[in-house]
Amino acid sequence: MNGGITWRWQFLAFKSKAEGQPVQIWFDALPEDDKYEITDLLDYLQKVTDRLWPEAVFDPLKGAGGISEIKIPDIRCFRDGKVKSITYRIYGFFGPKGYIHSYTFLHGAEKSVKNDVVGKQIAKGRLDELERGTAGIHKFEFTGERNPQAAEEQGYTQ
Amino acid sequence: MNSRESVIRRLRRSKGTRSKFVESHVNKTVAFQIRSLRGDLTQEQMTEKVGMNQNAISRLENPYYGKPTLTTLKRIAAAFDVGLVVEFVPFSKLANKISGTPFEERGLSPESLNVPSFTEEDNLGVFKNNEANEPVFTTSEAIAVAFPEDTRRWLFTEGYADLSIENSIFVQFKGLPVTEPNVTTEYQTVQEPKKLKVVLGSTFDKSDFQGLFPIPENTPTGAFLNG
């Protein structure tokens, strides 16, 4: 039971001078319905605070150097004249240090292969940048909340 | 994350969007709750508790693949000794719930069995942006005596109280009797305010005011307009 727990996860995202806010840019460019689906799932994950996130939608990616993966499968979309089912992956990690109850997105992508080696490498590379102090984080903005200036003003930098 | 305003914007897009919204949240609520109920048990250990195989449990915990029947949900509720509520609700209530907006749960009542559609609620102004989610006014004790014989339950749709007249406040509201959805009625009255919050889209009847305050003698009964 989690009676009395009032905190929730907050979602942050990677940013750097070289890349800007790549996860936010990726998310903002998604079709509206897909953004809703991702937002809905993260809204639930945000409130799972007394145990690990469900394995159906979260993979801790053991042995991947500290990154983990949120899975958003089976999104129906219409592409190339056909209805297709696609899966999104958002790589991230719990942290960074100094930010309690935070999960930081490193890389977002549509699943195209079973073992996304390239996606994991991108995410790990960004995590390394954060750990070296050569990149920062920002508050992730969901559908209907987009206000980059306000996020910047909140001082989400590292 | 899902603010009430953003949920309402989304619901306004189309009927298809609304049905997707319902499906998304039913699937996720059920899957996340079942995972939480399992607690520290393994899926294998849970098979004995609920009498289902491990594959079925795994699917139930997956918001994208589980399609539980009511029978399955009742079985899980019984196994974990918890209650189960399956009900149709107005979108205003669902929007409050998903966005974490506090709302009054009135339990089993006539309006809970007579659920208005999105369009019907929209026509009542329930989703007006500037009024949503905020207590609209502090109502007056005179409201209790404004309709002393009227025991109908009202769906509150509009109201304000901002004009002071000699230590009194002019209170006006519009509401629809739930049992007569096509009739609009407006009351107004003058009296000292009491701290009873009325939230847009909430319902009330005379009994809600009883016991909150003594009704003084010679209290004006208020005017019944456009009735």
Instruction: Compute the average pLDDT of residues B88-117.
Output: 85
pLDDT at residue number B58: 93
Strands A82-94 and A68-79 come out as antiparallel
- What was the pLDDT predicted at A138? 94
Closest CA to B56 of B66, B71, B69: B66
Cα A1–chain centre separation = 27
- For residue B101, list chain A residues with Cβ-Cβ distance below 8 A: none
Would you call A28 an interface residue with chain B, using a CB distance cutoff of 8 Å? no
CB–CB of A77/A91 below 8 Å?
A: no
When mean pLDDT is compared across A78-82, B9-13, B109-113, the lowest value belongs to A78-82
What is the model's pLDDT at position B78? 96
- Secondary structure (3-state) at A123: helix
% pLDDT > 70, chain B: 56
Indicate if the pLDDT at residue B77 is higher than 50. yes
- Would you call A125 helix, strand, or coil by DSSP? helix
- Whether B131 shows a pLDDT value over 90: the answer reads no
Residue B170 pLDDT > 70, yes or no? no
Residue A147 burial (C-beta neighbours within 10 Å; 0-12, 13-18, 19+)? exposed
pLDDT score, position B49: 93
- The answer to whether A73 faces chain B, any CB pair under 8 Å, is yes
Of B25, B63, B98, the CB nearest to A57: B63
Q: What is the pLDDT of residue B155?
A: 53
- In the prediction, which pLDDT does B60 show? 94
Structural domain boundaries of chain A?
Answer: 10-153
- Percent of chain B whose predicted confidence (pLDDT) is above 90: 37
Interface check for B21 against chain A (CB to CB < 8 A): the answer is yes
Most confident range (mean pLDDT) of A100-114, A135-149, B100-114, B180-194 is A100-114
Q: How far is it between the farthest Cα atoms of chain B?
A: 72
Measured between its terminal Cα atoms, the distance across chain B in Å is 42
3-state DSSP helix/strand/coil percent for chain B, to nearest 5? 40, 20, 40
A39 in B contact zone (CB under 8 Å): yes
What's the pLDDT score for residue A155? 44
Please give the average per-residue pLDDT across B15-29, as a whole number: 94
pLDDT level of residue B206 (50, 70, 90 thresholds): very low
Lowest mean pLDDT segment, chosen from A57-71, B105-119, B210-224:
B210-224
Q: Give the pLDDT band of residue B39 (cuts 50, 70, 90).
A: very high
Q: Where are the domains of chain B?
A: 4-86, 129-225
Q: Establish if A54 touches chain B: CB-CB under 8 angstroms.
A: yes
Contacts with A, B 60-119, CB within 8 Å? 61-65, 98
Strands B223-225 and B168-177: unpaired
Rounded Cα–Cα distance for residues B87 and B84 (Å): 10
The pLDDT, as a whole number, for residue B11 is 93
- 3-state DSSP call for residue B203? strand
Chain A hits for B98, Cβ within 8 Å: 43
Q: Are B137 and B196 in contact (CB under 8 A)?
A: no
Within 13 A of A117's CA, how many CA atoms are on the CB side? 0
> For residues B68 and B139, which has the higher predicted lDDT (pLDDT)?
B68
Cβ(A40)–Cβ(B24) under 8 Å?
Answer: yes
Say if residue B99's pLDDT is above 60. yes
The Cα-based distances of B28 to A131, B70, B104 in angstroms read: 34, 16, 23
Give yes or no for A29 touching B (CB within 8 A): no
Model pLDDT, residue A114: 80
Cα-based angle B128, B5, B89 (whole degrees, multiple of 5): 75
How many other β-carbons are positioned within 10 Å of the β-carbon of residue B175?
23
pLDDT band, residue B32 (cuts 50/70/90): very high
Tokens 């942050």 belong to A12
Neighbouring-strand partners of residue A10: A102
What is the per-residue pLDDT across A18-62, written as a single tens digit (0 to 9) for each?
Answer: 999 999 999 999 988 889 999 999 999 999 988 889 999 999 999
Residue B226 pLDDT exceeds 60: no
Which stretches of chain A drop beneath a pLDDT of 50? 1-3, 146-158
**pLDDT for residue B129:** 55
State which fold the B4-86 domain adopts: 434 Repressor (Amino-terminal Domain) (1.10.260)
- Checking ipTM against 0.90, whether it exceeds it is no
Contact (CB<8Å) A144/B6: yes
Residue A64: exposed, middle, or buried by beta-carbon count in 10 A (0-12, 13-18, 19+)? middle
